[in-house]
């Protein structure tokens, strides 16, 4: 029986996705100007642009997570970055390749 080598550190990326997703919920609440639930911790305009940046990062992390689990990169890009212009897809692909390189497990050769 063959053993499957682990190439990526999926657990670490999954933990970062959970943190970013919970931060996204916090930012969504802080964007509100009228029916805010809880305390105001940042300006609505600041929360708005942080929400946008975090959304892009989350989409890239979701695509990288799918690729780590064996899905096709093109299918994942269609699912998460589908309604954007071509230059956004190219930029997303570059960021996804950086993420994959960041979470790749460094293999040590046996002596």
pLDDT digits (tens, 9 = 90+) for 4-58: 456 888 899 999 999 999 999 999 999 888 888 888 889 999 999 999 999 999 9
Domain assignment present for 48: yes
Summarised one tens digit per residue, pLDDT across range 43-102 is: 999 999 999 999 999 999 999 999 998 899 888 888 887 666 777 788 888 999 999 999
Report yes or no on 109 lying in a domain.
Answer: no
Q: Residue 104 corresponds to which tokens in the numbers above?
A: 């790749």
Residue 53 lies in a domain: yes
Q: Is residue 50 part of a domain?
A: yes
* pLDDT for res 64: 92
Q: Indicate the number of domains in the chain.
A: 1
Range of the domain at 91: 10-35+42-102
């Amino acid at each position: 029986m063959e053993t499957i080598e682990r190439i990526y550190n999926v657990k670490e990326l999954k933990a970062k996705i959970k943190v970013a997703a919970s931060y996204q919920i916090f930012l969504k609440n802080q964007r509100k100007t009228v029916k805010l639930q809880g305390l105001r911790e940042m300006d609505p305009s600041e929360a708005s642009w942080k929400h946008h940046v975090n959304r892009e990062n989350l989409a890239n992390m979701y695509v990288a997570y799918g690729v780590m689990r064996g899905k096709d990169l093109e299918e994942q890009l269609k699912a998460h970055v589908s309604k954007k212009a071509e230059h956004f897809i190219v930029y997303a692909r570059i960021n996804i390749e950086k993420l994959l390189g960041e979470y790749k497990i460094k293999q040590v050769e046996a002596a």
